[in-house]
Structures are given as structure tokens and as C-alpha cells.
Chain A
């Protein structure tokens, strides 16, 4: 079962591929509590809980110009 917020919204994890991120900062703009572009490496990292409601996570995934963000399915994580 996926994580949920108190009002039942499904939460998923997100991760950034450090090799393909181009530091465009779209993720940081859309979800500033979850992404942060490091000023030295110019690579985005995940901060906070790293969890987002699925629709918002999907929006960042679609917006990232280098397709560097992926959704981590909580269920898949448990199986591993």
C-alpha cells in the first residue's frame, strides 16, 4: 500500500538521476520543499520527506527537460 496523507492523497517518492540532470531548476521552482539545486554541483537533489502527491510528482517528472526525475513507487521499494 502506498503512503497517504491524512486526507487520503496517495504519496509517492521522487528521485533525481545525477548523471542526466542539467540543473535547469524547474523542479525546484515547482516543488521547492522537495527539490533543491546545489549551487556548486548544479545538480538537483531531493530534500525533506522526498514524497509528493502522485499528480504533482508526475507534473515535475513531465516538466524536467532532461527526464532526470523518476517516481519511486512505495510498493516497489518494499519488495526490494
Chain B
């Protein structure tokens, strides 16, 4: 077989210093078939078109999440095992684990958290308005999702500062540099066996065990209780290691992602005052504005799968055991699906974005929670007639995986 055509480089973190390198993805979408990307521990197929991402995402059997890793690089077998959570499993394990947490997150059931989300949002927003200006990430985008998920899990408020701190160290673990030593928090586990190679994961596991123990003795109406009860039923429901990893995933997964979406959303509204005016004039636009914020922000740039058998995607033949990477960042700007994809349009009618994944079994568990958070924030901003103005460029986290914003200074004022 002749060598497949090579993709432009889209993995160097430096390419993301000023945002997503969209021209490169346009080239990838334009190519015949799929392009091949070199990578230090083995190359991968680059999937950039919306339709092809959907094909890969929908078929969890041919495109496995359990083999290798769901990030670009492979993990050694023992590390993969130790770190495995919902996100790196295939059916039937995936089906069993997902059902244990799915109930609280269905679109219908997530609605019962609306008041909680609103209280948290209003508190943060009012403090920010009081302040008048400052870093939007620190004031609103970061605390909002973590406070919500900790409330849902049942973590007592007095511990939430500690967990926020841990989760910030984890966010840091997605980049090359870590500011804490390997033995921080009394960690003795080899870092490669911990999620994000971070000693903060050890601390989060320990905390999860501790609160799990409390809820076993004294059940409450919260997510930790429902997890430990599933664990207690034994059999094949939930093992101890699965519980720890699931607790960890729930604390982390919704955290940086939602923060990213809220931050990009706020920037887009500040940069496009005409679009924000449309929302103010017609609050029924908040639903479509929420979806547009999600498409626009694409917090997770890609996820990887590994083929379990030979298969054809986008006209290209793939062998078994090959890495396949779905670039949501590219699919969300696919000009064959989205009219004028580089326009931020709060009234966009047909918006099948892949910010929560391409519609397959790993579809983001927290999708309706994240939507609720964005929607409530927009509602509360609109209610107060708030106008955001940028005071400078954002500080970005240059990463090929998350579309991170570390900070962005803005002014906020209530318009007369």
C-alpha cells in the first residue's frame, strides 16, 4: 500500500497560542479521504469533516475507547487499567457504568438542579458586577461549574475550597508543567498510574473514599450516595477502583470544559455587541444562543478512538489497531454543515455541533447540565441588562486538546 497523504501538523501546542489553527483544519476537511498525521508514539488518522466524525463516534464497536487510550498517546497497559474510567470503556462495561450515573443527568432530571444553578450564578454574577471589572474566568466561569457539581455530589461547602484547589492542579496536569512535586498530598503512587499524571489525583481519590465512607454510614440524597449504594450491591455493579475513577471524572470532567465554554461565550458576546443585543431584545433566543456558545467555544478539541477491525471512513481504508482522532474543533466549522461557520450567530437555527462529542455512546454525560449553566448565566445577564467589554486579550492555555482560557479581563456594567 502506498503511503497515505500527510496531514499538516495540528498537534504542536504552540500552534494553539492564538487560538485554533483553523486554516489547517480547512485544508484537512478539503482533502480527498483522510490524512495521516505522524506522532511520536505512532501516527493517527485525522478526521476533520462533520460527517466522518459522526461515523466514527457512532460506532463504538469498530472505534474503541478502551484500547490504547482516548488521548493521542498510548498508555502502558497497567496505567490504562489503573486510570480507566467511564470515558475509556466500551460496551458492556461502558453501558453498566454509564447507567449508574445516567439517571441524574437525563435532560428531564437535570432540571431539578435549576434553582441550585441559579442561586450559584446570581451570587457570582452580582459580586462581579459589584466589582465592576476583573478576570471573568476567576470571577464567574471557573467557580460556577465546580460549585454546581460539588453540590450535586454532596460535598460539604466547607470542603469545596480544597476540592477547587485540587481540580485546579488537575487542569494544570493537562499541560506539560506541574507546579507541585510528585509526593504532594502524601502521594506515593507512580505518577504515570494517576489521571493527568497528577499527585492531585491521589488526593482526589482519597477524598472520594472518605466522603464515600461517610455516605455509606449516613446516606443522603446526592450522587455520592447513589454511587456507593451501587458499589455496596457488589456483584458486577461497581468496583472500588471504578468508584474512585468515577468520582474523579465527575469532579473533573465538567469543570474546565464548562469554564472554557463560559469564557469563550463571554468573549464572543463582548466582541459581537449586535448579537448580544438580539438576545436582550428577544430572550427566547437564549436556547439558540446557548447552542452557539457551545459550538463557538468547542472546549474539547478532539477525542481519539482505536480501530478494532478494518473499516472505511471518508473514502479511506483503515487497518485494524490504528488510532483515529475526531477533531470536534474542525467539525464545528464544517462549511458543508454550518452556514458561514466563522460567524457567531445567536439565532443559528440548525446547529448540530459536536462540542459534546459526535453523538455516539460517549456523548457527554453532563451535556444538559452544561447547557443549563450556560443558559441560566445568559438569562441572569439579560435580566440585568449587563454589558461585557473586553479590557484585553485572553491568556490562553496553548493546548491541542482543550481550548483553554486561563484568564480574560473584562468590564461589566448594567446598561440603563
Binding site for B on A (CB under 8 A): 19-26, 28-29, 32, 37, 39, 41-43, 63, 65-67
Contact = CB atoms under 8 A, between A and B. Distances in A.
A46 B106 CA distance: 16
Given A24-B363, A65-B359, A65-B361, A42 B107 contact: no
Contacts of B58: 67
A22 B107 contact: no
Interface in B93-120: 94-95, 98-100, 102-103, 105-109
B102 A66 contact: no
A61 B344 CA distance: 30
Contact of A22 (B109, B359, B361): B361
Contact of A25 (B106, B359, B362): B106
B91 A66 contact: yes
B363 A42 contact: no
A25 to B, nearest CB: 3
B163 to A, nearest CB: 26
A67 B360 CA distance: 8
Interface of B: 58, 60, 91-92, 94-95, 98-100, 102-103, 105-109, 359-363
A25 B363 contact: no
B108 A22 contact: no
Contact of A20 (B95, B102, B103, B362): B95
Contacts of B95: 19-22, 66
A26 B108 CA distance: 9
Q: Which 4 A-B pairs have the closest CB atoms?
A: A25-B106, A23-B102, A29-B107, A65-B363
A28 B91 contact: no
Contact of B108 (A29, A42, A43, A63): A29
A74 to B, nearest CB: 26
Contacts of A41: 99
Given A19-B95, A20-B95, A66-B95, A37 B108 contact: yes
